[in-house]
Amino acid sequence: MDFGIEKILKISELSEQTGLSAHTLRYYEKHGLINASNRSEAGYRFYNDSDLRRVQFVKTARNTGFSLADIGQLLSIRVDKRSHSCQDVTDITQKKLLEVSAKLTELQSMQQTLELLLESCCGGPENATHCSIMEALDAGLLRDDNKEARIIK
Amino acid sequence: MDFGIEKILKISELSEQTGLSAHTLRYYEKHGLINASNRSEAGYRFYNDSDLRRVQFVKTARNTGFSLADIGQLLSIRVDKRSHSCQDVTDITQKKLLEVSAKLTELQSMQQTLELLLESCCGGPENATHCSIMEALDAGLLRDDNKEARIIK
DNA sequence: TATAACCTTAGAGCCAACTCTAAGGTCAAT
DNA sequence: ATTGACCTTAGAGTTGGCTCTAAGGTTATA
Ligand SMILES: [Zn+2]
Ligand SMILES: [Zn+2]
Ligand SMILES: [Zn+2]
Ligand SMILES: [Zn+2]
């Protein structure tokens, strides 16, 4: 067990520890994600170790791609793990993975199109009257939302 | 040469032709991307073939991932190709490719992290007291914005 | 005691690209 | 003449996640 003396942090110190701005910390609090378990008489927020760990959890989840709404759900599991199952956790994670994968597919298609466009154009200083990129955009033969990426050579 | 009779479209017809809503077409017009070259006496927008082609250009560019600001630039090249170079076009395209690639890298990192998380969790109905996903998020050892994705087994 | 550096709150602003509403005018068909 | 489907405009609302401002109160240091 760690019986080290608990460090109490003010918001700017928590900000420093976590890399999240004080504004963002207050914003997260307003949205029910985090809290300062104590306040000074003057109303200053005081964060203890447990508060800090919760904020770090939020930050890690955020970096992993979860939305604040997702994180709200993950946090409610976190505070009462006994009432939730691994499946509850994987449901959230799986949903996020599907979102990310979908976006990835879309971006990969865009990337491919942009690469093809760049390959087709000389990129030189002569005027753009016969620029193949402009022609391709004019022809409308590039990827459509539903269809596969395709470009006519 | 195509001497077919020019089809004049009202906004709902242009909407049908392009798949863009009338709202969106007006929005694009307000932002200087497109225009109706004629209006009826009552003020109804009338689009000719040239207008239609321009709208289709915008739509194609949009599908390719260009922002409306990018498209504004592409359009000003399009109306005066002689005053612009292929390099002007590739500059815009290259910039967009870099943006897309950056986002792609980020999403791939998220995808990998999420996949690792899912692999590590049983996803079963027992309670989450020892859920490895929760532990990983708590440990804060997942991908950080700058660092490579990593997760402790 | 004064100055600076903190802290508080409610609420506004920002970003992109729509999306929709309100209040009204137009047009074709019945 | 009256539906009802269209059209017009200015402007507000949506999304998510901040980011910042204003106006004021507190605390540490010189
Ligand atoms: Zn060229
Ligand atoms: Zn070119
Ligand atoms: Zn499990
Ligand atoms: Zn689990």
Tens digits of per-residue pLDDT, B117-137?
999 999 999 999 999 999 999
What is the per-residue pLDDT across B69-118, written as a single tens digit (0 to 9) for each?
999 999 999 999 999 999 999 999 999 999 999 999 999 999 999 999 99
Q: What is the pLDDT of residue B26?
A: 98
Which of A85, A126, A137 is facing B127, going by the closest CB pair?
A85
Query: For the whole model, what pTM was predicted?
Result: 0.89
- Span from the CA of A113 to the centroid of ligand 2 (angstroms): 15
Work out the average pLDDT over B134-142: 90
CB atoms within 10 A of CB A80: 11
- Span from the CA of B105 to the centroid of ligand 2 (angstroms): 27
In the structure, what pLDDT confidence band is assigned to residue A146 with cuts at 50, 70 and 90?
very low
Q: Can you name the residues that pair with A47 across neighbouring β-strands?
A: A9
- Span from the CA of A27 to the centroid of ligand 4 (angstroms): 29
Is the shortest CB-to-strand distance from A90 to strand D under 7 Å? no
Is the shortest CB-to-strand distance from A62 to strand D under 7 Å? yes
Phi/psi of residue A96, each to 5°?
Answer: -65, -40
| Proportion of chain A above pLDDT 90, given as a percent | 86
**What average pLDDT does the structure give for chain B?**
91
Which B residues, 75 through 114, put their C-beta within 8 Å of a C-beta on chain A? 77-78, 81-90, 93-94, 96-97, 100-101, 103-104, 107-108, 110-111, 113-114
Q: Identify the residue with better confidence: A3 or B66.
A: B66
pLDDT for A153 beyond 90: no
**What average pLDDT does the structure give for chain A?**
91
Alpha helices in A19-131 (DSSP H): 22-30, 49-63, 68-79, 86-120
A26 vs B141: CA distance, rounded Å: 24
CB contact under 8 A, A134 and B78: yes
Q: Can you list the pairs that B14-23 forms with residues at least 24 positions away whose Cβ atoms lie under 8 Å? A: B14/B47, B14/B51, B14/B52, B14/B55, B17/B52, B18/B52, B18/B55, B18/B56, B18/B59, B19/B59, B20/B55, B20/B59
- Span from the CA of A97 to the centroid of ligand 2 (angstroms): 38
- Identify residue A139 by its one-letter amino acid code: A
Q: What is the pLDDT of residue B21?
A: 97
B151 and chain A: CB distance < 8 Å anywhere?
A: no
CB contact under 8 A, B127 and A84: yes
Domains of chain A: 11-65 (1.10.1660.10), 105-139 (no CATH)
Q: Residue B77 carries which DSSP code? A: H
Of all ligands present, the nearest one to the C-alpha of A133 is 2
| Nearest Cα residue to A46 out of A58, A34, A38 | A38
B112 vs A40: CA distance, rounded Å: 43
Spacing of A125 CA from C5 C1' in Å:
55
Q: Can you name the residues that pair with B46 across neighbouring β-strands?
A: B38
In the structure, what pLDDT confidence band is assigned to residue A144 with cuts at 50, 70 and 90?
low
Please give the sequence-ordered ranges of beta strands (E in DSSP) within chain B, or none if there are none.
38-39, 45-46
Q: What is the pLDDT of residue A1?
A: 55
Residue A12 distance to chain B (closest CA, Å): 21
Q: What is the pLDDT of residue B6?
A: 81
Of all ligands present, the nearest one to the C-alpha of A126 is 1
| Nearest Cα residue to B100 out of A151, A113, A121 | A113
